[in-house]
Structure 1
Amino acid sequence: MNFRIGLIISLFIASICMVKGQSQDKKIEKLLKQMTLEEKVGQMAQITLDVVGKGQTRFASDEPLALDADSLRRALVKYNIGSVLNTANNRALSREKWYEIISQIQTMAMKETRLGIPIIYGVDEIHGATYTVGATMFPQQIGQAASRNRDLVRKGAEITAYETRASNIPWNFSPVLDLGLDPRFSRMWESFGEDPYLSTQLGVEMIDGYEGVDNNIGDPTHVASSLKHFLGYHATVSGKDRTPAYISPDALREYHLPAFKAAIEAGAHTIMINSGIINGIPVHANYELLTKLLKEELGFEGLVVTDWADIENLHRRDRVASSNKEAIRLAINAGIDMSMIPYQYEPFCEGLVELVKEGKVKMERIDDAVRRVLKVKMALNLFEKPNTHYKDYPKFGSKEFEKAAYDMAAESITLLKNTENILPLAKNTKVLVTGPNANSMRTLNGAWTYSWQGEKTEEFAGQYNTILEAVQKEIGEKNVFYQPGVSYKMDGHYYEDQLDGLEEAVKMAANADVILLCVGENTYTEKPGDLNDLYLSDNQTELAKRLAATGKPVVLILNEGRPRIISKFEQEMDAIVQTYLPGNFGGDALADILFGDVNPSGKLPYTYPRYPNATISYIHKPSEEQKKAEGVYNYEADYNPQFIFGEGLSYTTFDYKNLKLAKKAFTKGETIKVSVDVQNTGDRAGKEVVHLFSSDLYATGITPDVKRLRRFEKINLAPGESKTVTFDLTTDDLKYFDATGKAITEAGEFELSVADLVVRFELVD
C-alpha cells in the first residue's frame, strides 16, 4: 500500500512538473515571437554593476553606492541588457543595499522596457554568500573536499543558497568542477582536488544543495547554479592561469569530464566556460566542445555563459579573431548563449545584430540562446517574483548556520604528522604563536571573500577569531605569546612577505613549551596568484629553521590554497596540520583540534609534492614509479610525494581487516560487492574515511593508471567499535577511454584495495 501511495504521489508530482514545463515553454515561445532582434541580443548580454552605478567612470562607483538612472536606462531600455553581475567597487554589500539596488534594476527592467522581461543577477558565492556583509563563510572547496563529508557539503550549499537569496540574488557562479591536478595553479583551492570521483560526488551534493534535489529553483531558498569552468581549465602546461592546455581525447573524458557530466545529469541550470585554450583552440570558440559535446552529446539544455570578457579576449588576447565583431561571430556560433562583457556592452549588442542581418549568425542560433536565457529566468520565477526580501530570511547569519560552517572546518582540517603524539596539547601548555598567518582573518578565508582577492576581509570579519585569538580563547591569554616573525606586505604581489620580528620570535620561544608556527600564503586568485616558485617563501622557511633550532617542539600549521613545498624543513617539524582555507570559523576549529576538543578527520584531496619538479598526482602511470633497483640509473624523478592523496591522521587508531569480494570472477554488467571491517583500536571516538581504490592490471593500447578512487565513506566509531563497510561497484566503474575517446570495458584482472589490504578478481565477457 505504501509503495502504491508513493508511486501515485511521484506520478502526480511528475505530471504537475510536466504541465508547468509545457506552460513555461509556451510562454517562452510567445515571448520570442514578440521580441525584436535587438531585444533578443540584449538578453544575451551581461554587464557588471559598476557600469550602471553613479561614478566618474564605468570601472568604479561612488560610495555609498547608488544607481545612475540614465546609465541604467541606456543599458536596460535602449540596449535591452538581460543580466547584471558582480558587486560594485569590489566590495561586499549589506543585504539591505543588495535589495535596494537589485529591486531598482528589476523595476526598470519590468516597467520601462517594452516586454517587461526581468534581469537575472549573478555573483560568485563560492564558499558562502561571499559578497554579503554578515553572511556565513564556509571553508573553500578544497577544504570541503578534505572533509569527505557529503552531508556537510550539501548543507553548506543549502545555506549559501538561502543567504544568497536573502541578498536578492538568484544566480550563483558555483560550483567549481575543474580538476585540481596541478599544485602550481592559482585556483587549485577553488576545486575539490585532484580526483575525478571525489569531484563528481561532491559536485552533485553542491548542486543538490544550491538547487534542491528536484532542481526547483523557483523556490526562494534555492538558486540557479553555474558549473565552471567547462572544460579542463586547470590543466595548463605552465601551471599559470588562462594559459594553454593540451588534453588528449582519453584524458579529457577520463579525468576532466566526469564531474561536469554528473552535474548536468543532476539538473544544473547554467554553465560557465573555460577562459583558456585547449589544443590550440580557445574554448569560447570551440564548436566541438560547446555544441557537439556539451549541448548535443551531454544533452545540456541550460544556459551557457562566458567568463569575464572572454569573447573580447578571442580578439585582443588569443588572436583567433581579427576584430571584436569576428570574435562575437566565433563565440556565438560555437555555442555561447550569454556574454559576460562586462563594461563596453554596446559593441557586442550592435555587432551581433549586424552579424545576424549579414547572415553570419543564424536567427535559429539567436533564438536557441535566448530560449535558454528565458528558461532559466522562468525557472527562477523571476517573472512573478523578481525580488526576494531579506526580511523573509530570519536564519541569515544565524548560530545554526555558523555551527554548520564550524563543523565543516573541523572535519576538513587534516593532521599530516604527529611525532610521538605531541598533539593534542594540554590546556596548560605555554605556546608561542608565530608566523604570517597567525593573526589574519584574510588568510583563513582566501580570495572571493568580501572582495575578489580577499584583501578587504579584515574590514568585515573582525568579530571572528584568528588562529591567535582562538588559541588565546582556548587556553587563556597568559599561556600565549605572540610575535609574527614574518608578515605579508601591504603592497606588491599578494603573496609576498617580509621579516617582521624574527629575532624576537626566536627569543620568545625560550618561554614557551611548544611553538605554533602558522605559515602559508596570503590571498590570491586568478592571474595575481600565478607564481614561479612552489617552495614556501624564503622568509617563512628561515623562520621555521630558526625556531626548530631552539630545540622547542614545533607544530607547523599550514594555511594555504595549494601545497607550498616544505621539504627544506619538514623533518624538523614535530607535527604538521593542514587547515587549507577554512573560513571564518577556521581559527576556532583549529584550536579545538590542537587542544583535543575535536579529533581531526580530514584527508588530503590532493598529493602534497616534496619537490618543485615532482608535482605528480596519485593518478599516474606505472612508469612514474621506476625504482633505482630497476636499472643502472639513479632516478631522481621517482614518485616521491611529501604526503599522499587521502592521507590524514587521527588521535585514535583504526584497524582494517577482511577485505572481501562476493566471488572471484564477475561478468560485465554485474554488481561487484565489496566489504571491509574497520575497528577503532584507540581510546577515543573518531571519524575515519574508508577509501576504495581499483587497479586495472593490464589494458589494451592505453597504459592503465596505478590506481583510482572508486568509492569512499566517512564513518564514526567509538573506542573499540567495529563496522563492516560495504561498497557496490559496477563494471562500468572499471572502464577506460582509448586514444580516440571511446569508452572500453575490458575483460581481465583487477585489484581492489582499502588501506593496505588488496584483493584480486577477474572480469570476464
Structure 2
Amino acid sequence: MKKLHLLLAIWLLIFYAAGSLFSAPNDEIEKKIQTLLSQMTLKEKVGQMTQITLEVVSLKRPDGSFVNSLDENKLRQAIVEYGIGSIINTGGAANTARNWLEMITIMQKMATQETRLGIPILYGIDAIHGSNYIKEATLFPQSIAMAATFNRQLSRREGEITALETRAVGIPWNFNPVLGLGRNPLWPRFWETYGEDVYLTSEMGRAYILGLQGEDGDISRADRVAACMKHYAGYSFPLSGHDRTPAWIPERLMREMFLTPFKSAVDAGVYTVMINSGEVNGVPAHSSAFLLTRVLREEWGFKGLAVSDWEDVKRLHDRDHVAASPEEAVKMAVMAGLDMSMVPFDFSFAEYLYQLVKKGEVPETRIDDAVANILRVKFQAGLFENPFPDPQRLQLIGKPEFAQVSLSAAREAITLLKNENNILPLQKDVKILVTGPTANSRAYLNGGWTYTWQGDDERYYPAHYKTILQAITEKAGQRNVVYVQGADIETQKDMGEAVQKARDVDVIVACLGEATYCETPGNINDLHLPAVQRELIHQLARTGKPIVLVLVEGRPRVINDIVPKTKGILMAYLPGPYGSEAIAEALFGEVNPSGKLPFTYPKHVNDLVCYDHTYLKEFDVNRYDPQWPFGYGLSYSEFEYRNLKLSQSRIKKGEALQISVEVENRGERAGKESVLLYVSDLYRSVTPPVKQLKGFQKIMLQPGEKRVVTFTLTADDLAFVGRDNQWIVEPGVFKVRIGDQTAQFELVE
C-alpha cells in the first residue's frame, strides 16, 4: 500500500492551525494586563500564582451544617498580606447558596478594596455533576452515565445549568470536565470520565465546555463560568489501577489517544487546564515541559491558565523525589509551565518562588507570563468590572425544569444489558422483593463529589430525593413490594430473611453495586463485585424466582458468575438524585432504555481489553471476550438497520465522504437509539485498531417509523500517529460499520 505521509508542519496546519476559538488575544484586555503587570511588585505577582483552600480562611463548621463562616483575620492575611490570586473548595461540605454569596462578597470586597491594586479573587470549585457543593442546586448523573446517553445536547445542557447555578453564587471557575480516558476500570476516578473512547470523550467534553462557556466564549456573563479541562494528561491510565500512581504511555499512544480530547477542548475554547497528579513514563506531569509548554502552548497555541492539582508541586519533592527540596520543586513546576499552584494549606509556594526570582533561578519574565495568564482569565470573566454576585440570581438555582433535565439524562443513561424471555418490563401488579445494598440509599446513586468529598454523608441529602426502593414502591404500591436488604456492600445482612421472603414473590429486583468513593479512598485490588453481594444472588437463585439485577456502580465490577443466574440486568451507573425514578420507570416500561455502554464491561479481572484493540485472535486464545462490549445496550424496541450507502467508493484527501443508513423501529414501543458509526483501517504502517468510533447520533423513533441518518467523514478522520510520533494519513481501504451494515471505500492520493 502506498503511503501518504504528511510532514508535521503540514499536519499542524490541518489539525492544529485552528487553535483555541479564543486564542487570538483581545487587544484591549492585553493592554490592561500589561498595564497592571507593570504596576505589580514581585510579591504581588507570586501571590497571584498562589491558590489556597477555603479551610485556611474559615472557621471550623458544626457537623452537618450547610453554613460556613470566614475567619476575617486569616482571610486578610491571605488576601492583603500575601495577595493570593485564588481560593478553592467548599470548607468540608456543601454550603447554602446564600452562604456562598455572602462569603464570595466578603472575599471580593477585601480583594478589591483593601489591596493596593484591587485585583479580584478567582474562586474555583469542583462542580462535576451539577453544582454539587451548593445545597439547593441541581445535581446530574456522573460523567460516565452522561456518556452512556450518547447525547451531546444533554451534556451541553448540563454545562449550561451548572454554569448558571455556580455563577449565581459568585463562583466563576469550574474544575471540570475530566477528559482522561476511562481505559482501566480499576481506577477509582473512572466514573468521572466519559468512558474509554477518544471520540466519545472529545465530543461529550466539547459539548459540556460549550455549555459552561457559551458558543462565543463570553464568560463575563452572569450565567457562564470558565471551564477547566483535567487532568492533563495520562492520569486516567495508571499501570496499577490505583489513583495517583505511575502510568506508562508511549508518546505515540499519548498523542493519538490521551492528548486528543484535550486538544479538542482547546479547540472548543477552554480557558483553563488542571495538571495530571501522577507521572507518565517516570516524569511527573507537573514537571513536564513537554506537556505544559511544548504541546500545550507551542503546538496547540493554548493561551489560558494552567493550575496544579491538590498539593502536587510539593509532591515533586516529598513523593516523586524528582526535586531535592520543596524550593526546587517550585522552580521545576514553574519552569515547566505551571501558572498557579494549588498549594493549598499554606503560602510556601509564594515564599519559595519569591526567593527563586531574587536569586535569579527563575526569570521574572516567566513570572510575568504566568501572571498574565491568570489576569487574562480574570479579565475575561468580567471580575474587574463586577466581582460581586447578584442576590437576585439566587432564585434561579434549583428550578424544577433543571431537575427535569437531570431526570432526562438519567433516563437516557439507563442501559439494558440482559432481558431474557422479555422479563422486562415488569407489570405493576406483580409482587416484588427489593433487596441489595444499593436499594435504599441516596448516596450510592450519586457517588463522590456530592455535598462532601466522598459523598457518603446522607445527612446532607435532601429528603425528597428518592431511593430505588421508594421509587419502585411508588410505582407498584406498598402491598406489592417487600424489602429486605440481604447484604451490605461487603458484609452479610439478613440474607436468610431475603431468601425466605423471595419464596413468596413473583420477581426479585436485586440492587447491587458500590459504596461512595472518590479519588484514592476508592482504590481496590479486586475488580470483582464484593463476594457477599454475589453470594446473595446465588442464594436467591436457588428459590427459582426470576432475578432482575440493577447495577449502581461507578466502574464495571466483574459479575460473570451471577450473570447466568439473572433474567434481566439494568446498568444504572451513578445516575444522580433522580436516577431512582429513572430506574423504576425503566423497570416498569414507562421509559424505554436507550443507554449504551461507554466502556467495555469485562468478563474477567485479568482481561481488560478495550473495544478498539488491535487484531488479537490467534489460535483462538487471544480475543476480545468481554461480558458486554463497548456500545452495547438493548431496548424494549427492535431497531433494524439497512441500506448503508456511501456517496462514493473512492475519496481523495480534502474530499468528504457522505455516509447514510436507514434505521427503522420494528418494535411496538417508541424508543431512542444511538446510531454509532465505526471505521476500520484495514492495513496501515502502525497496527490498526479493529474499529474506532467516528460518529454518533441519538434519534427517537415511533413504532414503525424509519429515518435516514447521515454522517460525514474526511481524510482528517482517518489520521493516526505514525511510527515517528507525528500525525499522518495513509491511503488505503477502509471499512464502515453501522449496526450490522458494512461497506468499504478507498482513500487515494
The TM-score bracket by the shorter chain reads: over 0.9
Kindly indicate whether residue 628 of structure 2 is the aligned counterpart of residue 643 of structure 1: yes
In structure 2, what residue type is equivalent to 1:549?
Answer: R
Larger RCO: 1 or 2 (CA < 8 Å, sep 6+): 2
**Contact 1:249–1:740 (8 Å) recurs in 2:** no
**Match for 2:42 among 20, 37, 40?**
37
**Match for 1:720 among 704, 720, 744?**
704
Paired residue secondary structure (1:499) = coil
CA–CA distance in structure 2, aligned partners of residues 642 and 332 of structure 1: 46
Task: Give the aligned partner of residue 739 of structure 1.
Answer: 723
Deviation at 1:23? Answer: 1.8
Task: Give the aligned partner of residue 17 of structure 2.
Answer: none
Task: Give the aligned partner of residue 574 of structure 2.
Answer: 581
**Match for 2:519 among 518, 521, 526?**
526
Task: Give the aligned partner of residue 3 of structure 2.
Answer: none
Kindly indicate whether residue 417 of structure 2 is the aligned counterpart of residue 416 of structure 1: yes
Deviation at 1:303? Answer: 0.2
In structure 2, what residue type is equivalent to 1:557?
Answer: V
**Match for 2:174 among 159, 168, 172?**
172
Is there any run of 5+ residues in structure 1 with no aligned partner, and where?
1-16, 489-496, 629-634
CA offset digits 1:93-122 (Å, max 9, x no partner): 000110111111111111111111110100
Task: Give the aligned partner of residue 307 of structure 1.
Answer: 309
Deviation at 1:78? Answer: 1.0
**Contact 2:67–2:99 (8 Å) recurs in 1:** no
**Match for 2:495 among 481, 489, 502?**
502
Kindly indicate whether residue 52 of structure 2 is the aligned counterpart of residue 51 of structure 1: no
- Deviates further, 379-388 or 531-540: 379-388
Deviation at 1:642? Answer: 0.1
Aligned 1:445-524 pairs, distance under 5 A: 445-488=446-489, 497-524=490-517
Task: Give the aligned partner of residue 601 of structure 2.
Answer: 608
Task: Give the aligned partner of residue 435 of structure 1.
Answer: 436
Deviation at 1:605? Answer: 0.2
**Contact 2:66–2:93 (8 Å) recurs in 1:** no
Paired residue secondary structure (1:666) = strand
CA offset digits 1:303-346 (Å, max 9, x no partner): 0000000000000000000110000000000000000000022x
CA offset digits 1:620-660 (Å, max 9, x no partner): 1102x3342xxxxxx2x532100000000110101111111
Task: Give the aligned partner of residue 665 of structure 1.
Answer: 650
In structure 1, what residue type is equivalent to 2:551?
Answer: L
Kindly indicate whether residue 696 of structure 2 is the aligned counterpart of residue 709 of structure 1: no
**Contact 1:314–1:327 (8 Å) recurs in 2:** yes
Q: 1:681 to 1:61 in 2, by over 3 A?
A: closer
Task: Give the aligned partner of residue 598 of structure 1.
Answer: 591
Task: Give the aligned partner of residue 385 of structure 1.
Answer: 386
CA–CA distance in structure 1, aligned partners of residues 396 and 510 of structure 2: 37
**Match for 2:103 among 76, 101, 104?**
101
In structure 2, what residue type is equivalent to 1:303?
Answer: L
Task: Give the aligned partner of residue 257 of structure 2.
Answer: 255
CA offset digits 1:397-455 (Å, max 9, x no partner): 11100100000000011001000111000111111110000000100001000011101
Q: 1:292 to 1:391 in 2, by over 3 A?
A: same
CA–CA distance in structure 1, aligned partners of residues 63 and 224 of structure 2: 30
Is there any run of 5+ residues in structure 2 with no aligned partner, and where?
1-21
Task: Give the aligned partner of residue 678 of structure 2.
Answer: 693
**Match for 1:127 among 126, 129, 143?**
129
Q: 1:390 to 1:479 in 2, by over 3 A?
A: farther
Paired residue secondary structure (1:66) = coil
- Deviates further, 439-448 or 166-175: 166-175
Alignment root-mean-square deviation, CA:
1.6
Kindly indicate whether residue 732 of structure 2 is the aligned counterpart of residue 748 of structure 1: yes
CA–CA distance in structure 2, aligned partners of residues 620 and 69 of structure 1: 56
Q: Across the two proteins, how many residue pairs are aligned to each other?
A: 728
CA–CA distance in structure 2, aligned partners of residues 735 and 380 of structure 1: 36
Q: 1:60 to 1:573 in 2, by over 3 A?
A: closer
In structure 2, what residue type is equivalent to 1:712?
Answer: F
Give the alignment's TM-score, normalised by structure 2: 0.95
Task: Give the aligned partner of residue 11 of structure 2.
Answer: none
Deviation at 1:457? Answer: 3.8
Deviation at 1:385? Answer: 1.2
In structure 1, what residue type is equivalent to 2:70?
Answer: L
Kindly indicate whether residue 671 of structure 2 is the aligned counterpart of residue 678 of structure 1: no
Paired residue secondary structure (2:426) = coil
Aligned 1:234-273 pairs, distance under 5 A: 234-273=236-275
CA offset digits 1:366-417 (Å, max 9, x no partner): 0000001011011111112112134224331111001000000000110010
CA offset digits 1:493-517 (Å, max 9, x no partner): xxxx211111011111112111000
Paired residue secondary structure (2:372) = helix
**Contact 1:54–1:67 (8 Å) recurs in 2:** yes
Deviation at 1:460? Answer: 2.3
CA offset digits 1:346-382 (Å, max 9, x no partner): x211110111111111111100000010110111111
CA–CA distance in structure 2, aligned partners of residues 525 and 741 of structure 1: 34
CA offset digits 1:57-99 (Å, max 9, x no partner): xx999995321122111111111111000011x2100001101
CA–CA distance in structure 1, aligned partners of residues 155 and 161 of structure 2: 10
Kindly indicate whether residue 748 of structure 2 is the aligned counterpart of residue 764 of structure 1: yes
**Contact 1:548–1:554 (8 Å) recurs in 2:** yes
Task: Give the aligned partner of residue 21 of structure 1.
Answer: 26
Task: Give the aligned partner of residue 551 of structure 2.
Answer: 558
**Contact 1:553–1:573 (8 Å) recurs in 2:** yes
Deviation at 1:54? Answer: 2.5
**Match for 2:81 among 75, 78, 81?**
78
Task: Give the aligned partner of residue 370 of structure 1.
Answer: 371
Q: 1:43 to 1:61 in 2, by over 3 A?
A: farther
**Match for 1:185 among 176, 187, 194?**
187
Paired residue secondary structure (1:714) = strand
Q: 1:39 to 1:539 in 2, by over 3 A?
A: same
CA–CA distance in structure 2, aligned partners of residues 674 and 19 of structure 1: 35
In structure 1, what residue type is equivalent to 2:676?
Answer: H
CA–CA distance in structure 1, aligned partners of residues 63 and 270 of structure 2: 33
Task: Give the aligned partner of residue 626 of structure 1.
Answer: 618
Deviation at 1:458? Answer: 4.3
CA–CA distance in structure 1, aligned partners of residues 150 and 282 of structure 2: 36
CA–CA distance in structure 2, aligned partners of residues 121 and 138 of structure 1: 22
Q: 1:735 to 1:19 in 2, by over 3 A?
A: closer
In structure 1, what residue type is equivalent to 2:575?
Answer: P
CA–CA distance in structure 2, aligned partners of residues 358 and 62 of structure 1: 47
**Contact 2:66–2:135 (8 Å) recurs in 1:** no
Deviation at 1:755? Answer: 1.3
Paired residue secondary structure (1:622) = coil
In structure 1, what residue type is equivalent to 2:53?
Answer: T
Q: 1:156 to 1:185 in 2, by over 3 A?
A: same
CA–CA distance in structure 2, aligned partners of residues 60 and 386 of structure 1: 31
**Contact 1:99–1:390 (8 Å) recurs in 2:** yes
**Contact 2:66–2:95 (8 Å) recurs in 1:** no
- Deviates further, 424-433 or 602-611: 424-433
Moved over 3 A (4+): 17-20, 59-64
**Contact 1:55–1:61 (8 Å) recurs in 2:** no
Task: Give the aligned partner of residue 338 of structure 1.
Answer: 340
CA–CA distance in structure 2, aligned partners of residues 444 and 458 of structure 1: 15
Aligned 1:265-304 pairs, distance under 5 A: 265-304=267-306
**Contact 2:182–2:195 (8 Å) recurs in 1:** yes
Deviation at 1:761? Answer: 1.4
Paired residue secondary structure (1:424) = coil
Deviation at 1:236? Answer: 1.0
In structure 2, what residue type is equivalent to 1:96?
Answer: R
